[in-house]
């Protein structure tokens, strides 16, 4: 029986690929495990293997073909003795997309970002911008700081030779060598403690967690060693270091790999906590974090690594720690968020603009210390606030904002502050449940309408 080879998804986020090259020709004999093609995915070049013994019957997509959708028929493998003529039932149209029947609900998709151009008064006149991905912006920030300060080094699992599990440390090994770009064993508690010691001795470690879920192994050193040493030593010993990596929900990776720890870290005196959204903020804030004399938790988001934004093309571009940004101005309601939540807020604001609701969006950017001045100034103008957070509701950043608004801006509020967050459940794996668990535009819009008294619940 012949076997149809459909272009497979070769990463959790791949939707299309390029056939870099076929490594076999029509008529070649194949055995299971043979590599038949090299495919470029959104992340890397991968080898496509066959699971079947047989003969390469027909190659339907040429070398170099780009933008081939996952599920497209790309080749047919024949059983020995079979020939193409005998299999008339196969539809040889190469570009026909064969979406599997009974496909699960679409996983959370990441739509294109709404570009945020940094409006910074202190940028020189005539500043130009480079459109780069968040992934590149983070890498550039590390590379620039490593050039400026030779006490800065990066350590973590797969950061060097593999170029980073999510490719954020790409090319750093080539430029800085293995003494400054260090692959560690899988031993988060150990290497975090080691990095704290190095920081105490005056070096500036950047510790990458493959994801923040694994920083749970290292929690003691973050909370008990890094965060408290300056205080306990009466200011004698500092821990100038950055703990960074992806945080928050990824796609379809289940309960142990999809959680937002922002409020856990923001709870701890002695830590700075940063969770930016745009590429410019990722770059500018990571540079500030590395320059800082304090331990900084730097929370990235896997779902936006590949998204592009304008980043100012200026030397040593930094963004100050502890300053929120108004990323959309409006007069009817203030939406407060951080990280990927800013994207959800901006999208909701665009949608509501069509319905006559003019929302202002505040990107907190730093979660500890919180820039309540910016939040309150906005609420004084709009008199309404909705907090949006891709994370759990209890004891969340949203809870903190809500409490502070009640304490410090009660008189300006015309409606109760509403928190719109993920559902209060571990992250389910099933596509439909995952979609339900993560904060949705529907719920954000409903909340905004309700604080504006426009067709919401109240």
Partner 1 sequence: MAKKPSPRKSVKSGKPTARRKNVKAKTPEATNEELIEYYKTMLMMRRFEEKAGQMYGMGLIGGFCHLYIGQEAVVTGIQAALKDGDSILTSYRDHAHMLACGIDPKIILAELTGRADGISSGKGGSMHMFSVEKGFFGGHGIVGAQVPIGTGLAFAHKYRKSDNVSVTYFGDGAVNQGQVYESFNMARLWNLPVIFIIENNQYAMGTSLERASSEIELYRRGESFKIDGEMVDGMDVLAVKEAADRAVATCRQGKGPVLIEMKTYRYRGHSMSDPAKYRSKEEVSKMRSESDPIDQIKRRLLDGKLLSEDQLKKIDKEIKAVVSEAAEFAQNSPEPDPSELYTDILVAE
Ligand X SMILES: Cc1ncc(C[n+]2csc(CCOP(=O)(O)OP(=O)(O)O)c2C)c(N)n1
- Taking the complex as a whole, how short is the minimal distance between the CB of residue 253 and ligand X, in angstroms? 10
Residues 6+ apart with CB under 8 A from 34: 24, 49, 50
* 82 contacts partner 1 (rule: CB under 8 A): no
If the CB atoms of residues 253 and 415 are measured against partner 1, the closer one turns out to be: 253
Residue 78's DSSP bridge partners are 55
Q: Is 267 a catalytic residue?
A: no
The contact pattern for partner 1, residues 157-176, with x = CB under 8 A and - = no contact, is: xx--xx--x-----------
Helices 279-291, 134-148: axis angle to 10 degrees equals: 30
Q: Is 257 a catalytic residue?
A: yes
In the region spanning residues 103 to 132, those forming contacts with partner 1, defined by CB under 8 A, are: 103-105, 107
Determine the interface stretch with ligand X among 12-20, 210-218, 264-272, 273-281 (rule: CB under 6 A). 210-218
Residue 9: is it exposed, middle or buried by C-beta count within 10 angstroms (0-12/13-18/19+)? middle
- Taking the complex as a whole, how short is the minimal distance between the CB of residue 39 and ligand X, in angstroms? 23
In the region spanning residues 216 to 245, those forming contacts with partner 1, defined by CB under 8 A, are: 216-217
Q: Which SS3 state, helix, strand or coil, does residue 427 take?
A: coil
- Taking the complex as a whole, how short is the minimal distance between the CB of residue 34 and partner 1, in angstroms? 9
If the CB atoms of residues 62 and 430 are measured against partner 1, the closer one turns out to be: 430
* 432 contacts partner 1 (rule: CB under 8 A): yes
Q: Are 193 and 241 in contact (CB under 8 A)?
A: no
- Taking the complex as a whole, how short is the minimal distance between the CB of residue 213 and ligand X, in angstroms? 7
In the region spanning residues 212 to 241, those forming contacts with ligand X, defined by CB under 6 A, are: 214, 217
Partner from partner 1, ligand X, none contacting 202, C-beta within 5 to 8 A by type = none
What span, in angstroms and rounded, lies between the C-alpha atoms of 77 and 7? 14
Pairing label, strands 73-78, 3-6? antiparallel
Distances, alpha carbon 136 to alpha carbons 180, 260, 309, 310, in Å: 19, 23, 10, 12
Instruction: Give 17's DSSP letter.
Output: E
* 183 contacts partner 1 (rule: CB under 8 A): yes
If the CB atoms of residues 12 and 369 are measured against partner 1, the closer one turns out to be: 12
Partner from partner 1, ligand X, none contacting 107, C-beta within 5 to 8 A by type = partner 1
In 3D space, the residue among 53, 68, 42, 59 whose CA is nearest the CA of residue 305 turns out to be 42
Candidate residues 32, 174, 186, 255; the one interacting with ligand X per rule CB under 6 A: 186
By CB under 8 A, how many residues form the interface with partner 1? 63
| Dihedral of the alpha carbons of 422, 424, 428, 431, in degrees to the nearest 10 | -40
Tokens representing 34 are: 């043979």
- With left for phi above 0 and alpha for psi between -120 and 50, is residue 81 left, alpha or beta? left
What is the 3 state secondary structure string of 25-45? Answer: CCCCEECCCCEEEEEECCCCE
In the region spanning residues 109 to 128, those forming contacts with ligand X, defined by CB under 6 A, are: none
Residue 152's DSSP bridge partners are 204
Catalytic position from the list 40, 221, 257, 300: 257
Give contact residues for partner 1 (rule: CB under 8 A).
Answer: 6-12, 14, 33, 35, 41, 43-47, 49, 51, 70-71, 99-105, 107, 157-158, 161-162, 165, 183-187, 189-190, 213-214, 216-217, 250-257, 423, 425-426, 428-433, 436-437
Active site residues: 188, 257
Give contact residues for ligand X (rule: CB under 6 A).
Answer: 157, 186, 188, 210, 214, 217
């Amino acid at each position: 029986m012949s076997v149809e080879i459909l272009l497979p998804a070769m990463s959790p986020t791949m939707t299309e690929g390029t056939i870099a090259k076929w490594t076999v020709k029509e008529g070649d004999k194949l055995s299971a495990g043979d590599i038949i093609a090299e495919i470029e995915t959104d992340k890397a070049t991968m080898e496509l293997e066959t699971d079947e013994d047989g003969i390469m019957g027909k190659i339907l997509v040429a070398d170099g073909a780009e933008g081939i959708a996952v599920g497209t028929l790309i080749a047919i493998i024949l059983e020995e003795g079979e020939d193409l003529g005998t299999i008339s039932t196969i539809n040889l149209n190469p570009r026909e997309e064969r979406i599997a029947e009974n496909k699960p609900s679409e996983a959370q998709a990441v739509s294109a970002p709404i570009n945020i151009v940094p409006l910074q008064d202190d940028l020189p006149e005539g500043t130009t911008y480079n459109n780069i991905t968040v992934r590149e912006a983070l890498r550039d920030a590390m590379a620039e700081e490593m050039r400026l300060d030779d006490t800065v080094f990066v350590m973590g699992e797969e950061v060097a030779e593999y170029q980073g599990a999510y490719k954020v440390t790409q090319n750093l090994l080539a430029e800085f060598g293995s003494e400054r770009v260090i692959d560690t064993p899988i031993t988060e508690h150990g290497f975090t403690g080691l990095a704290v010691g190095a920081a105490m001795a005056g070096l500036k470690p950047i510790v990458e967690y493959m994801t923040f879920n694994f920083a749970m192994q290292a929690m003691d050193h973050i909370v008990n060693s890094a965060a408290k040493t300056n205080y306990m030593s009466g200011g004698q010993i500092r821990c100038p270091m950055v703990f960074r990596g992806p945080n928050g929900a990824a796609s379809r990776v289940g309960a142990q790999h999809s959680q937002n720890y922002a409020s856990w870290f923001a709870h701890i005196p002695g830590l700075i906590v940063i969770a930016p959204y745009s590429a410019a903020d990722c770059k500018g804030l990571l540079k500030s974090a590395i320059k800082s004399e304090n331990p900084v938790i730097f929370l990235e988001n896997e779902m936006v690594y590949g998204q592009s934004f304008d980043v100012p093309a200026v030397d040593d571009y930094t963004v100050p720690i502890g300053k929120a940004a108004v990323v959309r101005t409006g007069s009817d309601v203030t939406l407060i968020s951080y990280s990927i939540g800013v994207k959800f807020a901006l999208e909701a604001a665009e949608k509501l603009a069509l319905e006559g609701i003019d929302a202002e969006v505040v990107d907190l950017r730093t979660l500890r210390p919180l820039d309540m001045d910016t939040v309150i100034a906005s609420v004084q103008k709009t008199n309404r606030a909705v907090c949006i957070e891709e994370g759990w509701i209890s004891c969340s950043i949203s809870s903190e904002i809500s409490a502070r608004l009640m304490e410090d801006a009660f008189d300006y509020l015309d409606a109760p502050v509403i928190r719109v967050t993920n559902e209060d459940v571990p992250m389910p794996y099933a596509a439909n449940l995952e979609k339900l668990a993560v904060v949705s535009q529907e719920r954000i819009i409903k909340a905004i309408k309700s604080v504006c008294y426009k067709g919401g619940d109240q």
